[in-house]
Amino acid sequence: MAYAERSLTLINIRNVETLEEVNLDLTQGFPKVSTVGPFASPDELIAAANRLNPSEAEGFVVRDWMGHRLKIKSEAYCLANKCRDRVGASRLNQLELIFSGHLDDAFHLLPKHIQVSIGYLKDDVHFLCEYVAVVWNRINHLESQKEFALQATKFPSQASSSICGKREPSVRITFLQGW
C-alpha cells in the first residue's frame, strides 16, 4: 500500500505505572485512528475488512473489552503483499507471472517499479519470440537433424538453444532456464 506521506497515527497511550489507557482526547499533535463498528460478530468484522480496497487500507486494529489489540487485514491486502513479495523477488518470478496467464489479475496489485520491470520483460519476451520464429522459419525446411542443429547454432544463443535439437521453437522453457 502506498501512502501519500509519512505519518504516525496514535492508537493508544498507557500509563506506565498503572498500565491503564489514557484517553486519546487528551493528546495533541498526532492524528488519531479512525473508528468503525461495532460489529455483531467476528464474521461481520472479517466481511467488513474484505470490502476494503487493498490499495487504500490494510484492514482494522481491533480492541476487545480488556484492551487487547489484534490486526485484521483484508484477504485482498494479504494477497497483494504476497504477490508483490513473490513477483518482486526475481525476474524469473516476473516471467512466470507473464507466462501464467494471470498477469491481468495481479498487475494492478504490484508497485509501479515492478509493473515497469514486467513491462520491459514482456517486450523482451515478445522480441525473442518473434526472433525465434524468424530463425525457425529459415531452417525448419532442413531434413537432416545434424544440418538443422548446425544452422541453428549460427544464430545467437537465445534463439539457437530454443530450437536446436528439438525441431520446435520452445522459447518459454529455454528462456526461463536462462534466467
**Model confidence pLDDT, tens digit, residues 75-86:** 888 888 888 888
Provide the CB-side half-sphere exposure for 26 (13 A, CA). 7
Does one domain contain both 163 and 98?
yes
Q: How buried is 133 (Cβ within 10 angstroms: 0-12 exposed, 13-18 middle, 19+ buried)?
A: middle
Domain count, the chain: 2
The 3-state DSSP class for residue 10 equals strand
For the segment 104-125, the average pLDDT, to the nearest whole number, is 85
Least confident piece of the model among 96-110, 111-125, 145-159: 145-159
Q: What are phi and psi for residue 21, nearest 5 degrees?
A: -75, 145
Does one domain contain both 69 and 93?
no
132 closest CA partner among 157, 112, 111, 113: 157
Does one domain contain both 125 and 54?
no
24 closest CA partner among 34, 35, 10: 10
The fraction of the chain above a pLDDT of 70, given in percent, is 83
pLDDT for residue 44 is more than 90: yes
Please indicate, yes or no, if residue 19 is contained in any of the structural domains.
yes
Range of the domain at 56: 1-73
Q: Are 33 and 26 in contact (CB under 8 A)?
A: no
Does one domain contain both 93 and 173?
yes
pLDDT computed for residue 12 by the predictor:
79
For the segment 150-172, the average pLDDT, to the nearest whole number, is 60
**Polymer length in residues for the chain:** 179
Amino acid (one-letter) located at 93:
N
- List C-alpha distances in Å: 169 to 18, 99, 159, 165: 73, 16, 9, 10
The grid coordinates listed for 95 are 516471467
pLDDT computed for residue 43 by the predictor:
92
Confidence band, pLDDT 50/70/90 cuts, at residue 174: very low
Q: Are 62 and 33 in contact (CB under 8 A)?
A: no
Provide the CB-side half-sphere exposure for 54 (13 A, CA). 18
Tell me the C-alpha distance between 72 and 64, whole Å.
13
From 73, 103, 133, the end of a domain falls on 73
Q: Are 39 and 48 in contact (CB under 8 A)?
A: yes
Please indicate, yes or no, if residue 156 is contained in any of the structural domains.
yes
